[in-house]
Amino acid sequence: MRVIIAAAGTAGHINPGIAIANKIKEEQKDSKIIFIGTTRGLENDLVPRAGYELKTINAYGLSKKISFDTIKKMYLTLKGYKEADKIVKEFKPDIVIGTGGYICGAVITAASKQKIPTMLHESNSFPGVAVKMLAKKTNTILVSFEETKNKIKKAKNIVHTGTPVKIKKRGYGVQEKSEIIRQLGLNQIKPIVLVSGGSQGAQKINEAIIEIIKNGQNKNYQIMWATGPKQFDIIKEELEKHQININNINNVKITPYIYNMEEALNVADVAIGRAGAMTVTEITNLGKPSILVPLPNVSHNHQYYNAKVLENIGAAKIILNDELTGEKLNKTIEEIILNPSEMKKMGENALKISTQDAENKIYQEIKKLVK
């Protein structure tokens, strides 16, 4: 099978594309797969690291504000359509798949014009502009949330598959779980609250956790906290101002990044973080109660809508970014961990909308298009 995958910008767009590519390779080892992206996004690191060839074209999101910069980006984006058309013609794919970013417009359009089967994957609850615009010319649209189906009009075919993620639910035995918790530098006595703002950290969440630690409010729970590499030293200095040693805090383990996130999330009792599609998928697949702080100022406020899916079924509690304080976060944590039956129910509710085996479901849809 010959496949082009269009993915650009963030890890939330690129990692699902890589997961799909890996599944195709697993099923058909002689498949030839290339990615199309831009020169600016994380695809330039993640795609080659995963072992795939990356070709780049010009693609920009266009602003409604008229300026020299807007006109320049419009010109380059139109040029990108020609570049995409050339790549598709030369590669002769059996299918073209888009997993997110402005790049999809040019690549899916080029494939559609050349009568090549096309597929789009939308990870977020609220579909992006590209998916809405391309719905009529795309053969199959895959969605992570069932609710998304009603938000995409005039689509030929929409299938709920979920989003492929690396982190899986693990049924650890008592001894294995105990050893993981010990290696994390925590104990088995108090509930574990895992805090992560993604690979770069989340400043607002970090500020709230600092407040909790400074006031010694986490007496009833332990904190496993990934600050993000760029914020670790800043947080260390801030805590030192209050005579707190970052490496020796009661009931707290602080690290720039959690490399064994699958293990950490599996043994955690509650998860705190942003509400990107990958995060929400991982939380639901593992059946974890969560406190979500959607990142503001993102396209269509999609993180809020991702979080709302979980809140609506009683699986998560939302705290808006502007309303987040240490006091409010601590109160919300204690509402969950001091009520074991509520915590258990939230986890069960999260599992109800989990989508296991997303890679295989997506592969089956690919096979339907590639005869």
| Concatenated DSSP letters of 87-104 | HHHHH--SEEEEEESTHH
Nearest-angstrom CA–CA distance, 349 and 64? 41
Nearest-angstrom CA–CA distance, 64 and 62? 7
pLDDT digits (tens, 9 = 90+) for 324-355: 999 999 999 999 999 999 999 999 999 999 98
Q: Which residues pair with 143 in a beta bridge?
A: 122, 160
pLDDT digits (tens, 9 = 90+) for 30-59: 999 999 999 988 899 999 999 999 999 977
pLDDT digits (tens, 9 = 90+) for 146-158: 989 999 988 999 9
Distance of CA 34 to the CA centre of its chain: 22
pTM of the model: 0.85
* DSSP run (H or E) holding 196: strand 192-196
Nearest-angstrom CA–CA distance, 103 and 130? 9
Specify the pLDDT at position 79: 76
Dihedral (CA of 237, 243, 246, 247) sign: positive
Dihedral (CA of 78, 83, 89, 92) sign: negative
Band (pLDDT 50/70/90 cuts) for residue 69 is low
For 174-352, CATH number out of 2.40.100.10, 3.40.50.20, 3.40.50.2000, 3.40.630.190 equals: 3.40.50.2000
Instruction: Report which DSSP code applies to 75.
Output: H
Q: Which residues pair with 194 in a beta bridge?
A: 224, 271
Non-local CB neighbours of 250 within 8 Å, separated by 6+ positions: none
Nearest-angstrom CA–CA distance, 260 and 86? 41
Dihedral (CA of 192, 197, 200, 201) sign: negative
- Which of 289, 253, 294 lies closest to 273, judged by CA? 294
Please give the full DSSP string across 149-179, using - where no structure is assigned. GGGSTT-S-EEE-----S-------HHHHHH
Band (pLDDT 50/70/90 cuts) for residue 200 is low
Question: What share of the chain in percent tops pLDDT 90?
Answer: 77
Band (pLDDT 50/70/90 cuts) for residue 73 is low
Q: SS3 for 63? A: coil
- CATH superfamily, with its number, for domain 2-163+356-369: Glycogen Phosphorylase B; (3.40.50.2000)
Non-local CB neighbours of 135 within 8 Å, separated by 6+ positions: 141, 152, 153, 154, 155, 156
Would you say how long the chain is, in residues? 371
Dihedral (CA of 24, 30, 31, 35) sign: positive
CA 98-102-104 angle, 5° bins: 25
**Rounded (to 5) percent helix, strand, coil in the chain:** 45, 15, 35
Q: At 89, list the tokens.
A: 């013609």
Q: Provide the H-helix boundaries in 184-251.
A: 203-214, 232-240
Band (pLDDT 50/70/90 cuts) for residue 63 is low
- Answer whether residue 207 shows pLDDT above 80: yes
Non-local CB neighbours of 56 within 8 Å, separated by 6+ positions: 36, 37, 38, 39, 44
Q: E strands along 205-289, which residues?
A: 222-226, 252-255, 270-273
Query: What residue ranges do the domains of the chain occupy?
Result: 2-163+356-369, 174-352
Q: SS3 for 366? A: helix
Specify the pLDDT at position 177: 95
